[in-house]
Amino acid sequence: MYGWRARIGHVAPSRGDTLVYEFYKMFPEGFMMLNTTGTVRQLVDNDFEKQLQRIEEAVQDLVDNNCDSIIFSGSPLFTRLPFGTDREMGQKLTEKFGVPVAAGLTAEVEALKAMKIKKLVVGTPYEEEINQRLKRHLEASGFEVLQIAGYGVRKNAQLTDLPVHASYKIAKRLYAKGRDADGIFIPCPRWPTIADVALLEEEIGKPVITSSLACIWHALKLIDIKENVSGYGRLMASLGK
């Protein structure tokens, strides 16, 4: 059976294509990601609400396909809701299905805490309204956001069309304005982000967290997997310790 060490389930808000691609770049045979496709076509509240309604059904399908842990990603789905909704849904689904289930937003916060980041700059692909919602959630979680800005993407399919190094460019620009930051956060698992993480960390001497890395890291931590993952930054390297 493929995925004999870990079968990770992913409830994608749209396609989930980039996250799956980046997962297989990092992990060897024995690891598998099972993806579901979602209903978000535009990064707007109406599409977010539709996707929220199908998360439980998608988790049920992934449980039926023997996933060891499951992440439902798409932070903008939850940053518009009361603080803590992401954790409440993860706990409810974990209790219902008997498999560890968590939101990508939860994973991101846990990853930032694991890397001891308190002050951060945040480079996103999003429009300003979504950025400000994320900023409020991060502040409610105990972080200080020194800088946040994005590329203004609304159509979900355009996220994958962003240049491979777009996240690096915006992260460096924001860090130059907020050098007191303890690290960099790059949200959204659908645009390319992992290729330059190690380079960014080498240049600034501080940790860099992306949504893709956080979701994968958290999903594996939930099931006590230890694996040496090199070349993708401090967070993934910590999985082997």
> For 64-122, what is each residue's pLDDT tens digit?
999 999 999 999 999 999 999 999 999 999 999 999 999 999 999 999 999 999 999 99
Residues 120 and 90 placed together within one structural domain of the fold: no
Pick the closest to residue 141 from 179, 186, 84 (CA basis).
84
- How many Å is the maximal CA-CA distance in the chain? 49
Residues 201 and 219 placed together within one structural domain of the fold: no
Provide the residue type at 95 as one letter: E
Does some domain include residue 141? yes
pLDDT tier for residue 143 given thresholds of 50, 70 and 90: very high
pLDDT value of position 175: 98
Residues 99 and 125 placed together within one structural domain of the fold: no
Does some domain include residue 237? no
Q: What is the pTM of this model?
A: 0.97
pLDDT value of position 191: 97
Pick the closest to residue 32 from 65, 8, 68 (CA basis).
8
Between CA 38 and CA 73 the distance in angstroms is 10
| Cβ-defined contacts of 228-234 (< 8 Å, 24+) | 229/26, 229/27, 231/198, 232/26, 232/194, 232/197, 232/198, 233/194, 233/197, 233/198, 233/200, 233/201, 233/207, 233/208, 234/115, 234/201, 234/207, 234/208
Range of the domain at 131: 108-210
Residues 52 and 169 placed together within one structural domain of the fold: no
Q: How many CB atoms lie within 10 A of CB 46?
A: 9
Between CA 95 and CA 209 the distance in angstroms is 28
Does some domain include residue 140? yes
Does some domain include residue 238? no
Residues 137 and 187 placed together within one structural domain of the fold: yes
Q: What confidence tens digit (pLDDT) does each residue in 182-224 have? A: 999 999 999 999 999 999 999 999 999 999 999 999 999 999 9
Does some domain include residue 1? no
Residues 80 and 112 placed together within one structural domain of the fold: no
Residues 85 and 156 placed together within one structural domain of the fold: no
Residues 146 and 167 placed together within one structural domain of the fold: yes
φ and ψ of 123, to 5 deg:
-110, 120
Chain centroid, CA 87 distance in Å = 14
Does some domain include residue 184? yes
Does some domain include residue 163? yes
Q: Where do the DSSP E strands lie in 12-94?
A: 31-36, 69-72
Residues 54 and 112 placed together within one structural domain of the fold: no
- What CATH number is associated with residue 112? 3.40.50.1860
pLDDT at 1 over 90: no
For the chain, the domain total comes to 2
Helical pair 166-177 and 197-204, crossing angle rounded to 10 deg: 20
Provide the residue type at 23 as one letter: F
Residues 99 and 145 placed together within one structural domain of the fold: no
